[in-house]
Amino acid sequence: MRNLTKESIENIATGASFMGAGGGGNPYIGKLMVLAALEQGGHPITLLDVTEVDPDALYIPVACMGAPSVMMEKFPRGDEFQKVIRALEKHLGKQVKGTFPIEAGGVNSMIPLVLAAQTGLPVVDCDSMGRAFPELQMTTLHLAGVRCAPMVVADEKGNLSVLETVTDKWAELLARDMTVEMGATACVAQYASTGQQLQDGAIHGIVTKCEQIGAIVHDHKLGTQEKRQAIVEVTGGYHLFDGKVVDVIQKVVGGFNRGTIVLEGLNASTGQTMEISYQNENLVAHIDGQLVISVPDLICFTDVDSLVPITTEEVKYGKRMTVFGLPSDDKWRTEAGVDLVGPRYFGFDFDFVTVEELLHERGAK
């Protein structure tokens, strides 16, 4: 158990942007909300290790749902997070003892911290994706049998819905429609879990991992190559490509950002061309026509010099980026995990192969 300093929060936000795998929205606005909540006399934010939770107590993640490109312009009011968690608490008839990020990547890394500063609820150092994913049923808690619903969806205008659904996919469908109608973003509380369920089904230590990545990016004593190396070490990932953005096709479809990004290589050592397909998050990448990584493994963008993470909606023509590939959590690399979030779910006609294997094959050629 420890309190998060302002510096920790800055680092977590930066690391969360990296771990968003291009998606989840830029945590910048979320970070400003956390810092504002603290300055406005908020509670200190306590981070609990997963070993420290009460196995029988109730923990509920709060999050923003919808198109991150819209979220950048249509902010939450700020009181929705308390509203959704209190509504779910009331519906369940049980008091909530803490919160956690449903996804460590992107803006949803910050929302539980806003709630914590507003209410004094501790934040558990875990999430349910180890990254960001676009749909509600795409969680390791789902794999562990925890249900998404009952869930609460609310907007900044004061509309609120308590959903009970027969499957997590139905929660996704109904909450997504509501999110689109509410103006392409909404606040949600879902996946109410016991401490025991977090110990069994969540991804542990992910907030701290984000903090470590952010600390590397912000470390002015490190040069570009040292930062790159440190990120590879702390994430267990790979430096895939350095390139300049030469094409971006982006559209908002049904509350999602979708598109393709094309990079032209900056140096021969990583390849000539990289092409990345995304739906909010980066899904699949090819270098010179060869598949090098796919979901659930993570494709993460940073600025080529500063190593500051870049989300898909920030990608523009001419941007010079370094692309990292990270192995996903082992919970995703199961048959059930790959069925839920593997390349076939997103419409690609090939099976999941780990980034390690794909790079090994590429190296072997």
In the complex, least distance from residue 258 CB atom to a second copy, rounded to whole angstroms: 20
Q: Which of 165, 277 has the CB closer to a second copy?
A: 165
Q: Binders of a second copy among 139-168, rule CB under 8 A? A: 157-166
In the complex, least distance from residue 148 CB atom to a second copy, rounded to whole angstroms: 12
Among 88, 116, 141, 182, which residue sits at the site for a second copy (rule: CB under 8 A)?
A: 182
Long-range contacts of 227-233 (CB under 8 A, 24+ apart): 227/307, 228/307, 228/322, 231/18, 231/302, 231/307, 231/324, 232/324
In the complex, least distance from residue 24 CB atom to a second copy, rounded to whole angstroms: 24
How far is residue 52's CA from residue 172's CA, in Å, rounded to a whole number? 31
Q: Are 105 and 128 in contact (CB under 8 A)?
A: no
In the complex, least distance from residue 87 CB atom to a second copy, rounded to whole angstroms: 8
The yes or no reply on residue 180 touching a second copy (CB under 8 A) is yes
Rg (CA), the chain: 19
Q: Which stretch binds a second copy (CB under 8 A): 117-125, 177-185, 190-198, 276-284?
A: 177-185
Q: Which of 174, 213 has the CB closer to a second copy?
A: 174
In the complex, least distance from residue 64 CB atom to a second copy, rounded to whole angstroms: 18
The yes or no reply on residue 178 touching a second copy (CB under 8 A) is yes
Q: Which of 172, 329 has the CB closer to a second copy?
A: 172
Q: Are 296 and 341 in contact (CB under 8 A)?
A: yes
| Non-local CB neighbours of 322 within 8 Å, separated by 6+ positions | 228, 239, 241, 242, 301, 302, 303, 304, 307
How far is residue 80's CA from residue 198's CA, in Å, rounded to a whole number? 24
| Selection from 107, 125, 127 nearest residue 45 by Cα | 125
How far is residue 126's CA from residue 88's CA, in Å, rounded to a whole number? 20
Site string for a second copy, 18-57 (x = CB under 8 A): ----------------------------------------
Where do contacts with a second copy occur on this chain (CB under 8 A)? 157-166, 170, 173-174, 177-178, 180-182
